[in-house]
């Protein structure tokens, strides 16, 4: 028998033939390109000869200060570039050997790449204020994290939620209005979840009771919330802004000791209660999803609702409850735009953050911690864009702001690890 199989089939001692899977070139290519960008664009041809970059860490009230760090731009970027090229080579070698790389590898690679990028971008432009950069990143991440948690709870139960955007906006609106009317920002914080949950009621009514496609309802709900809030803003809120739309800000509550840790302290522990609630929500969700009865059932109805049904779990009731909980979480996140930032309500002020939250959830592979990480990354990219454009660096802010979206596209296209949605995601469940 003349076959061309010998090259592919290796016979193992155990018996049957085993085939070698094709080499996965995605990671080596991505690493290689980034390493070369670092070495050439940021390093050798970065136009940073003779310039230096300063990183500052101070936030004024640190327990003890860290002196600013000044590095020679070109030397640093070239050095980091060489390290990255070496890492890319390692990644290629491991890929050829078909071995897996630990999670530390992309993180280390990313941090180094970012360091080189900042060194290049900040060369000759004063200093890079690291603490405000991180603090701003966290602030911008708050609605993203809440939104991502909302999307996650819904999709883990099998309900796609494109209406996160609308839920954030509704939360922002109600928080502003209630806080203003009661003249207490905390009242707004209490009201916000109800706005998000209200949107969720409509979502679950159409999706679960009438089996309308979940993506369609989500899209339409976003339009509806924009319409209702904008209409009320232009009428009621504009007619009497002192009563209905006066600014109310949640005060910053520094946590003693923790808040005094250098760099991280001011970033993480000198925040308003909303941010602390966020920490709690993320932690609780993580534990609940993977270590509680509720979590097991939630994952079951999102993966295989019929299996859940056969063991007596009311699939649709649980889905409704979870979608409502999720809506409340997103509504709370929306409060960040108004009472959380001390701003009055403005038309369409959620500005697409709900969609980035969705992206963060996907990039985080439907895991609370992963989603938080992705949301922080997005918040950081956004804040970096803002910071750099005010510093007058060569980086166009608009292009930098595209990054989260491009990264997400790469992720769903399978270039950044395998992304697998809950199996029954988006499918209505009906008993025969």
Site for other proteins in 235-264 (CB under 8 A): 235-236, 239
Of residues 110, 124, 227, 342, which one binds other proteins by CB under 8 A?
227
| Choice between 260 and 309, CB closer to other proteins | 309
The three state secondary structure string of 255-284 is CCCHHHCCCHHHHHHEEEHHHHHHHHHHHH
**∠ CA 359-364-369 to the nearest 5 degrees?**
130
Q: Should residue 200 be labelled a site residue for other proteins when binding is judged by CB under 8 A?
A: no
Q: Cβ 143 to other proteins, closest distance in Å?
A: 15
DSSP letters of 147-213? HHHHHHHHHHTT----THHHHHHHHHHHHHHHHHHHT-HHHHHHHHHHHHHHHHHHHHIIIIIS---
384-403 residues in contact with other proteins (CB under 8 A) are 396, 398-399, 401-402
Quick one: tokens of 341?
A: 């930032």
Q: Which stretch binds other proteins (CB under 8 A): 81-89, 145-153, 242-250, 305-313?
A: 305-313
Q: Which stretch binds other proteins (CB under 8 A): 130-138, 192-200, 267-275, 421-429?
A: 421-429
Q: How many CA atoms lie within 13 A of 336 on its CB side?
A: 29
Q: Does residue 183 contact residue 248 with C-beta atoms inside 8 Å?
A: yes
Q: Which stretch binds other proteins (CB under 8 A): 42-50, 104-112, 338-346, 420-428?
A: 420-428
| Choice between 94 and 212, CB closer to other proteins | 212
Q: Should residue 105 be labelled a site residue for other proteins when binding is judged by CB under 8 A?
A: no
Q: Should residue 1 be labelled a site residue for other proteins when binding is judged by CB under 8 A?
A: yes
DSSP letters of 404-417? HHHHHHHHHTTSSS
Q: Which stretch binds other proteins (CB under 8 A): 128-136, 150-158, 170-178, 228-236?
A: 228-236
| Choice between 16 and 67, CB closer to other proteins | 16
Determine the Cα–Cα distance for residues 184 and 173; give it in Å rounded to an integer: 15
Q: Which residues are CB-neighbours of 342 under 8 A, at least 6 positions away? A: 247, 248, 249, 250
Q: Cβ 6 to other proteins, closest distance in Å?
A: 9
Q: Cβ 205 to other proteins, closest distance in Å?
A: 9
Strands 17-19 and 9-11: antiparallel
Q: Cβ 185 to other proteins, closest distance in Å?
A: 25
327-386 residues in contact with other proteins (CB under 8 A) are 347, 352, 355-356, 358-359, 362
Determine the Cα–Cα distance for residues 91 and 430; give it in Å rounded to an integer: 47
Q: Cβ 67 to other proteins, closest distance in Å?
A: 37
Q: Should residue 212 be labelled a site residue for other proteins when binding is judged by CB under 8 A?
A: yes
Of residues 162, 179, 323, 384, which one binds other proteins by CB under 8 A?
162
Dihedral angle over CA of 188, 193, 197, 199, nearest 10: 50
Of residues 10, 243, 264, 291, which one binds other proteins by CB under 8 A?
291
């Amino acid at each position: 028998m003349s076959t061309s199989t010998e090259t592919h089939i290796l016979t193992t001692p155990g018996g049957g033939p085993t085939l070698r899977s094709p080499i996965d070139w995605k990671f080596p290519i991505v690493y290689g390109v980034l390493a070369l960008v670092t070495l050439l664009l940021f390093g050798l041809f970065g136009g940073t000869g003779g310039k230096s970059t300063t990183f500052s860490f101070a936030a004024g009230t640190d327990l003890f200060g860290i002196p600013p760090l000044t590095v020679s731009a070109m030397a640093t970027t070239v050095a980091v570039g060489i390290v990255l090229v070496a890492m890319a080579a390692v990644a290629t070698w491991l890929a050829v050997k078909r071995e897996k790389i630990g999670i530390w590898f992309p993180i280390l690679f990313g941090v180094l790449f970012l360091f080189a990028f900042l060194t290049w971008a900040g060369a000759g432009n004063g200093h890079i204020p690291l603490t405000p950069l991180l603090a701003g990143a966290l602030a911008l991440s708050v609605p993203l994290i809440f939104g991502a948690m909302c999307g996650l709870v819904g999709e883990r139960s099998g309900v796609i939620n494109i209406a996160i955007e609308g839920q954030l906006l509704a939360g922002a609106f109600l928080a502003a209005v209630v806080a203003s009317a009661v003249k207490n920002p905390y009242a707004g914080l209490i009201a916000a979840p109800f706005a998000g949950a209200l949107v969720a009621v409509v979502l679950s009514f159409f999706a679960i009771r009438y089996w309308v496609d979940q993506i369609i309802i989500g899209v339409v709900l976003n339009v509806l919330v924009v319409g209702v809030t904008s209409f009320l803003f232009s009428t009621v809120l504009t007619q009497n802004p002192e009563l209905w739309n006066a600014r109310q800000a949640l005060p910053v509550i520094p946590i003693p000791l923790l808040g005094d840790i250098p760099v991280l302290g001011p970033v993480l522990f000198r925040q308003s209660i909303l941010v602390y609630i966020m920490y709690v929500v993320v932690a609780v969700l993580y534990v609940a999803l993977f270590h509680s009865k509720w979590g097991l059932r939630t994952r079951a109805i999102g993966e295989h609702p019929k299996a859940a049904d056969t063991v007596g779990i009311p699939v649709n009731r649980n889905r409704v409850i979870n979608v409502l909980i999720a809506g409340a979480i997103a509504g709370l996140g929306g409060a960040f735009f108004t009472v959380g930032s001390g701003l009055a309500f403005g038309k369409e002020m959620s500005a697409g953050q709900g969609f980035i939250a969705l992206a963060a959830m996907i990039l985080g592979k439907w895991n609370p911690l992963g989603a938080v990480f992705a949301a922080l990354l997005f918040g950081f990219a956004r804040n970096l864009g803002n910071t750099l454009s005010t510093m007058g660096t060569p980086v166009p802010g608009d292009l930098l702001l595209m990054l989260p979206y491009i990264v997400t596209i790469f992720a769903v296209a399978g270039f950044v690890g395998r992304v697998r949605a809950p199996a029954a995601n988006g499918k209505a469940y009906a008993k025969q």
